[in-house]
Amino acid sequence: MSRFAIGVDLGGTKIEAVVMEDGVERARLRVPTPRDDYEATLEAIVALVSQLDQRVGMRASVGLGIPGSIEPTTGFVKNANSVWLIGRPFRTDLERRLARDVVVANDANCFTLSEATDGAGVGSEVVFGVILGTGVGGGLAVGGSSLGRRVHSGANGIAGEWGHNPLPWLSVDEYPGHLCYCGRCGCIETFLSGPALSADHQRHTGETLEAEEIVRRATKNDLDAEATLTRYEHRAARALAAVINLLDPDVIVLGGGLSNVDRLYRNIPQLWAEFVFACDTRAEDTAVPLTRLAVRTALRRARHGDASGVRGAAWLGALQSAR
């Protein structure tokens, strides 16, 4: 593995860059994102990388997390919230300016890689990372050792995009779901993002509150806020149960603003057992009652918090250069 690794996290409002030495952060820089300006975005990233190169006195490996993904067949960016990147050869343009390879991945994949490598999922073979924030994203990391750890992006570069699958096991009052920006109806993101939590509370109470205020009021025994969070937890349990049924990960790690809600880690695993395919299917005529087996998947808070995205980008480049 390279001694020094630079990670860059391209966000909607800021670009953050970090240089790590053998997994230890040595320097961090941050600049505003030049919104709607492709060339300025490239130049901002090049400037950050150059400054960090100078800090460590060498050309380090570079990994980059973006709010989208690279189309494998064309090399162009797709599915990006930073829409000025869409349809552009972003990785190729950066590699030409930096005169080195650049490994690019979805920002949720970078988050997941960070937590799987030296965070809440360390030592686990399969880690599913979840972002619960303004949007809902996810990533999948496999391989139990540091050098063997890798992000699984998939044939289409969209592995882990659970937020744009439909919420499973809809109740009557949830059907048919809400319209999503992707053009579909009933996506998990429309139920589990921070804005979705606020919208759900408004629909049931007529009161407009931010997610943080709803959580605060629930801790003060506000019945309406408690009901909103209870609905949220049940929906999250169903959505994550579908992930467990499909991938059976060792650990699910939560990141994003809503990952700071302590009660989620207690309540969601209790609720998802009803939906995970892990029951004891003995014959109905037996005298022994039907029981449900324990779900072994752990639900954990991100160890590195908001820093996981940029740390994961650094790990992305470092692990690639080591292979």
Q: Helix, strand or coil for residue 21?
A: strand
Residue type, 155: A
pLDDT of res. 322: 65
Q: Do 4-119+305-322 and 162-301 show the same overall fold? A: yes
Average pLDDT over residues 192-198: 96
pLDDT beyond 50 at 97: yes
pLDDT of res. 194: 95
- Percent of the chain residues past pLDDT 70, beyond the cut: 92
pLDDT of res. 256: 92
pLDDT: which is higher, 62 or 288: 62
Phi, psi of 155 (to 5 degrees): -65, -30
Residue 276 exposure: Cα atoms within 13 Å on the Cβ side: 22
Instruction: Read off the pLDDT band of 292 (50, 70, 90).
Output: low
The β-bridge partners of 169 are none
pLDDT of res. 112: 96
Instruction: Read off the pLDDT band of 81 (50, 70, 90).
Output: confident
pLDDT: which is higher, 185 or 291: 185
pLDDT of res. 204: 97
The pTM score is 0.89
Instruction: Read off the pLDDT band of 1 (50, 70, 90).
Output: very low
Average pLDDT over residues 241-258: 96
Taking only the tens place, the pLDDT of each residue in 199-228 is 999 999 999 999 999 999 999 999 999 999
Taking only the tens place, the pLDDT of each residue in 115-154 is 999 999 999 999 999 999 988 999 999 987 665 678 898 8
20, two tokens: 């790590």
User: Cβ of 139: how many Cβ atoms within 10 Å?
Assistant: 32
- Identify the CATH class of 162-301: alpha beta
pLDDT of res. 319: 80
Residue 253 exposure: Cα atoms within 13 Å on the Cβ side: 31
pLDDT of res. 269: 96
Cα separation of 46 and 110, whole Å?
19
| CATH 3.30.420.40 holds for 4-119+305-322 | yes
pLDDT of res. 238: 98
Q: Helix, strand or coil for residue 10?
A: strand
Contacts (Cβ under 8 Å, ≥6 apart) of 143? 125, 149, 150
191, two tokens: 């139920």
Average pLDDT over residues 68-89: 91
Domain residue ranges in the chain: 4-119+305-322, 162-301
Among the ranges given (18-22, 52-56, 100-104, 152-156), the one the predictor scored with the smallest mean pLDDT? 152-156
Identify the H or E element spanning 310: helix 308-322
